[in-house]
Amino acid sequence: MEPINYRICIPSYKRAKMINLKTLAFLNRLQVPIEGIDVVVETEEMKQDYLEENSNLNIIVSNTNGIREKRNFIRNYYQFETDTRYLICIDDDMDNIMDMDKPITREAFIDATQQAFRLCEEKGLTLWGVSPFHNTFFMKRNISTNLKYICGAFFGLIIDRKYEPIFTTFNHYEDFCFTCQHFLRDNGTLRMNWLALKTKYFNPKGGITEWYGGKDKRAEAQETDASKFIELYPNMARIIKKKYGCDLRLNYRYKNSS
């Protein structure tokens, strides 16, 4: 069976040093060739900063402002400007992916990504992901296709050109939005529940927190976006209050009636 070849896309914002210490170091441990990796930044000035730290990077300039527009740019770019069919998106501050209670190996990473893309093709799905939090109590060695959160920090996307690309109107919860839209369109999303992310969701250096101007401003924006999200998808999610701002929880029992 021929292996599925995919590209890796890393959206990044003012983390020229961190991306090398985190996500690129993680991918290097897995022996992922840098030739298959794209880094998406917002301006030509940022591009030069990243190239000064790592001249081997392939940098794409989005000329966008904010995570929403960058995520939309990525989907539009790979759909219309490339012949890519299989895409993996990873945040720029990824520490590791955990395989139950241990860091994922190169062999397990290859097996999981190949399996995820093949199963999506078989089931007519276009979005897959892993558990967003590393908690082995909730992790199971199974695959689910009901409505479960596909975290934007690490996910796989099949670019099916018979559809227009799915876009989001949210800076916060854009990954919840993509999850719901794919679920409604494809009647499912795929999640590998034995794999989980090891990363920081509120890293103050660079990224969306700095773009908003700090944790407090980001938390305020989260609450506004959460309310708008519930208005748009009233039966698919509910709001969860947290120390900083709030979060959403998807209704895994939701059934698509369309």
Write out pLDDT tens, residues 37-70: 999 999 999 999 999 999 999 999 999 988 889 9
Distance CA 105, CA 19 (A): 20
Q: Which of 48, 181, 59 is nearest to 125 (CA)?
A: 181
What would the two tokens of residue 152 be?
Answer: 């934007």
Supply the pTM of this predicted model: 0.90
Cβ-contact 167, 220 below 8 angstroms: no
Pinpoint the alpha helices (H) of the chain: 18-21, 23-29, 44-53, 67-80, 106-123, 174-186, 207-212, 215-232
Distance CA 241, CA 126 (A): 31
**pLDDT at site 246:** 81
Cβ-contact 104, 96 below 8 angstroms: yes
* Selected residue with higher pLDDT from 157 and 135: 157
**pLDDT at site 204:** 54
Neighbours of 121 (CB within 10 A): 15
Helix 174-186, helix 67-80: angle, nearest 10: 40
* pLDDT tens-digit readout, 167-219: 999 888 999 999 999 999 999 999 999 999 987 655 556 555 555 555 666 66
Strands 58-61 and 37-41: parallel
Neighbours of 169 (CB within 10 A): 12
Mean per-residue pLDDT over the chain, rounded = 91
Cβ-contact 30, 94 below 8 angstroms: no
Distance CA 73, CA 253 (A): 32
Distance CA 43, CA 208 (A): 15
**pLDDT at site 247:** 86
Angstrom distances, CA of residue 56 to CA of 22, 38, 70: 16, 11, 22
